Amino acid sequence: METLFITHPTCRMHNMRSWHPESPQRLDAINDRMLASGVAYYVRELEAPKASVADLERVHKPDYVSFIRDNIPESGYFNIDTEETCLNPHTFQAALHAAGSGILAVDEIMAGKAKNAFCSVRPPGHHAEPDRSTGFCFFNNMCVAASYAIEKYGLERIALIDFDVHHGNGTEKIFENHPNIMMFSFFQHPLFPHSGTENVAQNMVNIPVPAYTRMKVIEELVKDQWLPKMRDYKPQLIMISAGFDAHREDDMGQLDLTERDFAWLTQQLMDVADECCEGRIVSFLEGGYELSALGRSAVEHVKTLAGI
């Protein structure tokens, strides 16, 4: 079965000032590399639909969703907390498409029309909490899709994976102690958002690692702490917050991964998915801000998903 590549042109229109690292050029870097490498010809590209407000409100408080919608400026920017997380006139529509990408992926995969999917969308989502925007994120794309999969398809065990250099505080906040979710993550610590190490819920498998940790150490941690628990859990669906800012060339963190390491991580998750849930994986773009490293890493991720 096919690998899906899901995106939407509106995701490029969300822009948080010209200097901002979470820029529209991130999607361009991935698209350009997909074409240059030839990987684009091995996947099926789909346009992401919009998530509904009801979809968002499964994981976000209604007042918060209204706050984002009602503060979209006619021009310029509206700062949520600082200039680092702000709205422009296109943010709400882009965020609806970003959240809708995972819903489409779940439907296609559960219908047997595709094996797995990569959602190349922005704004990213894993820092978005039930009632709070932070870290460039407004709505939690992966959580929206996971909650949809639970409600529509009755899934009882979904494994969420986060290998962004920053801890996915929003995902953890939304799903801590959730009976249908187990989350696995590694992240640099201490580093923004300075979470994930205290009062950790039982359904969270967090691996904080110090700056300059090499991939060999992370490989052993993944093999020892992630994979056995994941296999015991027997997920019916795997979802990935695929942040590529742990790359050694990315200044947003200080880990030492390369694009080959992201391919290795992807393959480990695919092996579990093949054993437990007919290969079902939905992956979402999160971080990754050095454009060349992002393009190379994301394409290696997609290439592995597609078995090329």
Query: Could you tell me the two tokens for 200?
Result: 């950790």
127 part of the active site:
yes
Active-site pick, 127, 166, 167, 301: 127
How many other C-beta atoms can be found within 10 angstroms of the C-beta atom of residue 25? 15
Among candidates 151, 142, 212, 213, which has minimal Cα distance to 184? 142
Among candidates 201, 219, 199, 200, which has minimal Cα distance to 209? 219
How far is residue 254's CA from residue 42's CA, in Å, rounded to a whole number? 33
How many other C-beta atoms can be found within 10 angstroms of the C-beta atom of residue 306? 18
Give the list of residues 6+ apart from residue 114 with CB closer than 8 angstroms, or none: 1, 2, 3, 4, 44, 105, 108
How far is residue 93's CA from residue 166's CA, in Å, rounded to a whole number? 26
Under DSSP, is residue 59 helix (H, G, I), strand (E, B) or coil?
coil
Contact, 123 vs 12, CB < 8 A?
no
Contact, 15 vs 28, CB < 8 A?
no
As annotated, the active-site residues are 127
